[in-house]
Chains A and B, each alone.
Chain A
Amino acid sequence: MTREEIESREDESMMDAPQINKPKPEEFFNVNYLRIYYGKSPFSFFLTIKTFDLLRKPNNKYIIDGKHPGCDEYYFGRREFSFTLENDVYLRYKSFKNASSMEDAIRSHFPYKIDIGAVYSVDPDKRHAYSQTGSNVFTPVERELVFDIDITDYDDVRYCCSGADVCSKCWPLMTVAIKVIHTSLTEDFGFKHILWVFSGRRGVHCWVCDPKARRMTNEQRSAVAEYFRVYKGNENNARKVALMGYSLHPFLARSYVDYLKGFFEGELQATQSIFSTKDKYEKILAMISDEDIQSELRGKWENSARSSLSEEAISLVRWEQLKNTLQSKKHKAPTLRMCVEEIVFTFTYPRIDLEVSKQMNHLLKAPFCVHPKTGRVCVPIDPNNCDEFDPLAVPTLSQLIEEINSGGSRMDVDDDSDDSDTSLLGKSVKFFRSSFLEPLLKSCKEEIESSYKTKIGKSKDSLSW
């Protein structure tokens, strides 16, 4: 099929669109819609792909004053991408010379999912040309520091949904996770260029793009992931958060005081009522490593089962009772010292997927992809306004198609004046550009310029007699 034929087919479907019935839920994601999404260039999708990499070591397209001698033209070509096609066909180690050859590949494969991997020492698709034992080993050289938080990892502490579902009652767990991790990334680790992205269904991804983050070794990434790790759960233990010592580490203390405590005692009680039934409160009692205290509380709660208060109110009362009991008895054993905090952490503290963060070669879905199971676009989330983010209000592919069909947005990436808030993705694109892309571009330029100057300076010195 030639390009003209494809385009004329699209035009046809656009004209037909108003007469098509509203798509059934199971039809909100399919190859035809994807064709349109990718075919409509330049779409915000390409905005992110292009800029993600070309800006790292920008080529002449993005440096207005012409080609900078400090640029690395071959950087983009060494980035690994992977395509997941229809029928779960998975193509790894894809790399492209430049953005337009990548666009062409996307428009010929129509991948359901595009993942971004690391920048390697040589072009991934040429890796076999290099012998493994020689000095030109195919190895990752740079990669953003990434995090993946998935709400299914919280199934043991959310009662409204389980598995792939997510609702307005449990999504706040993600919100609180973003706040805790983001604050730490900026305050503790000093990172500046952080992008949070909705994963499309039930979680969030985080991309830390500072130069020093991209150069971190696997060991260092592992260290940061472990620093964030608190929950150590598996089926065999009831007490999955164990906070030893006499106080919390400052990072945990800040998280507790600024975010977790308030969330636990407020929103969480309202949405999950974690003490309201016997099944629920037994789970919490199991976290208290003292049988006497467990029995004491159990006794109080069993007897008050027939109260006329709301579920939320009951929960709050019981929480107070638990806190008071533990406060007076916490000196009984070291494991009781921070039992209250442990319970709060168990229900609210972020649970990141350690494996995703630890290795440079781990691939992660690209922002602005469309999730095949929900049809939703993986849009950025503003960490400073994450309370307002609603995963169920994120534009879907079919909504976007409708918008296109009705002559709506023209997402023209080169035309800055077109970032209107009225189009479905307009706000997201604008945010992506102004809050993340532009500062990153600026800092990359500065880095290139300064390292170039140093190089020039050095070589000048070496010429002096």
Chain B
Amino acid sequence: MEVIRSQKRTPSNDTVSNPKIPLYLTAPQMEVRLEEFELFAIDRLRVLKGVSDGLARGRNPKEMDDLVDTLWKEHMRDPDASLMFNKDIISHFVLRLVYCRSDELKKWFLSMETALFRHRFRLQNFEAQRAIVGEFGLPYKAVTGAELEGLKERLGQVVRSLGQISPTVEAIYYKVPFEEVPDLVASRRVLIQKGYAFVAGSQLVSLVVTQFRSHISKALILTNRKWTTTIREREKDRLTPIVEALSTSYLGPDYSQSTEYAEISLKDIDQVAKSSFPLCMRHLFEKVREDHHLKHGGRMQLGLFLKGVGLKLDDALAFWRAEFTKKVGSERFDKEYAYSIRHNYGKEGKRTDYTPYACQKIILSAPGAGDHHGCPYRHFSEDNLRAALGRMGLSSRGMEGVMDQVRNKHYQLACTMTFEAVYGTSCDAGINHPNQYFEESQKILKSKTPPAPV
């Protein structure tokens, strides 16, 4: 892919014979204007962020199909089909550069691109899907004739076991090594015999998504290598600044640099915890004050949050020291805990400036005995959660709404509802980061009350 300054773009040679979804198998041979380099990537990023939001809110597959359809039409559509196709390809490859640069970025990009692919695939008709399977060059043969007859009864059993009362065995099945369709194997959605799974036409999604994911994963590693060895240096006056800006601009703010609102000092911290911390951080904070200790998971979750909220390193050290020395003594604190606090602020070791955890990460954590981290909406028992919400000032009606969301496993929506109940306003964006909760809360409080003398 060649990036050029201006001039008319030469239309690519791809024409109608292409399947609608490109597989991004090879870098495109076309010229791209510099402005488009950035704009296309931003539009695609809007789509990926929308996908990420949808998944975080627990949308079911059909809802995700519709969401993807909407997002794509909104951001990526072009009346000229081949131009739209080019934008698709270009934007993907630009984002590869952006998101190959760290493990966390790679993981996010891989998940979102795979989900995007999955739902775009599901929206295609059967013929288009078969064409895409063909594009992958997958060597799977369709099962026909006598072999199919012999399997029919058990194939029917599989269909019935999945909830269809009349076993409509599809016309076409593919014989695929079972290793290629792990999710179908895991959920017993296929017949398996002598190492082969018999995949129905309608189940092709699984097959291709696995291939897609594997391919992109490998590609990201190669891209990263190329980036660090040649491209970054060569492009340092042209593409590199764009690439570096792109990753921080749209994933939602990552809160590693706190904003003007958010600088807090040690003497404010208790009051600010009560007024603006989300429940997960309140709980951790209370536990530190109470137990003068927190286990590793809690120290990470709370510590990084405080960094994002604007607590400076010296204040952070003072805070943790004040609490921990009540239990473990000053020497042990210096020996065992101070280092990792400094590490979190990027002052030790790899000097990575760690970013505060987003809700998705916190929800997925697994607090064990003696731990207080995680997401209370997910990890607390109902009684404990109600008690905690009561302490935050929720009325019983507000609480019911929140508990309802919890029961349906919409933990972030539960937190959002809590926010809305506590501050009496609506939060349309939805909470997906504890630091976001804090910032929004501070905004509201500062706008409501005149700056009070501290």
Contact = CB atoms under 8 A, between A and B. Distances in A.
A190 B193 CA distance: 7
Contact of B179 (A220, A246, A250, A252): A220
B154 interface: yes
- Chain A: interface size category: 20 to 34
A217 B213 CA distance: 14
A219 B182 contact: yes
Nearest to B182: A223
Given A188-B193, A251-B192, A246 B163 contact: yes
A222 interface: yes
B182 A190 contact: no
Interface string B194-223: 111000000000000000000000000000
Given A190-B194, A226-B187, A249 B158 contact: yes
Given A249-B161, A249-B188, A187 B182 contact: no
Nearest to A218: B182
B160 A247 contact: yes
Contacts of B157: 247-250, 253
A245 interface: yes
Contacts of A190: 193-196
Contacts of A216: 179
B42 to A, nearest CB: 30
Contacts of B248: none
B279 to A, nearest CB: 23
Contacts, number: 64
A189 B192 CA distance: 7
Nearest to B350: A133
A191 to B, nearest CB: 8
B165, B186, B191, B195: most-surrounded residue (chain A CB, <10 A): B186
Nearest to A184: B192
Interface string B151-165: 000100110111111
B186 A227 contact: yes
B320 interface: no
B448 to A, nearest CB: 43
A244 interface: yes
A313 interface: no
B178 interface: yes
Contacts of B404: none
Interface string A219-247: 11011101100000000000000001111
A101 to B, nearest CB: 35
Range, interface on chain B: 20 to 34
Contacts of B178: 189, 223
B413 to A, nearest CB: 24
Contacts of B163: 244-246
For chain A, what secondary structure do more than half of its interface residues adopt (helix, strand, loop), or is it mixed? Answer: helix
Nearest to A223: B182
Contacts of A223: 178, 182-183, 185-186
B164 A246 contact: yes
A188 B165 CA distance: 25
A223 B187 CA distance: 8
Interface in A181-207: 187-191
Contacts of B188: 227, 249, 251-252
A408 to B, nearest CB: 44
B158 A224 contact: no
B1 to A, nearest CB: 25
A250 B158 contact: yes
A250 B158 CA distance: 7
A252 B164 CA distance: 17
A14 B163 CA distance: 67
Interface string A25-67: 0000000000000000000000000000000000000000000
Interface string B355-390: 000000000000000000000000000000000000
Contacts of B183: 223
A222 B179 contact: no
Residue with the highest number of chain A CB atoms closer than 10 Å, among B154, B162, B164, B178: B178
Contacts of A224: 185
Interface in B122-165: 154, 157-158, 160-165
B381 to A, nearest CB: 11
A226 B186 CA distance: 5
Interface string B39-51: 0000000000000
Interface string B108-122: 000000000000000
A13 to B, nearest CB: 46
Contacts of B191: 250
Interface string A307-346: 0000000000000000000000000000000000000000
B217 to A, nearest CB: 11
Given A226-B185, A226-B186, 13 more contacts: A188-B192, A189-B192, A217-B179, A220-B179, A222-B182, A223-B183, A224-B185, A227-B185, A245-B161, A245-B162, A247-B161, A249-B157, A252-B161
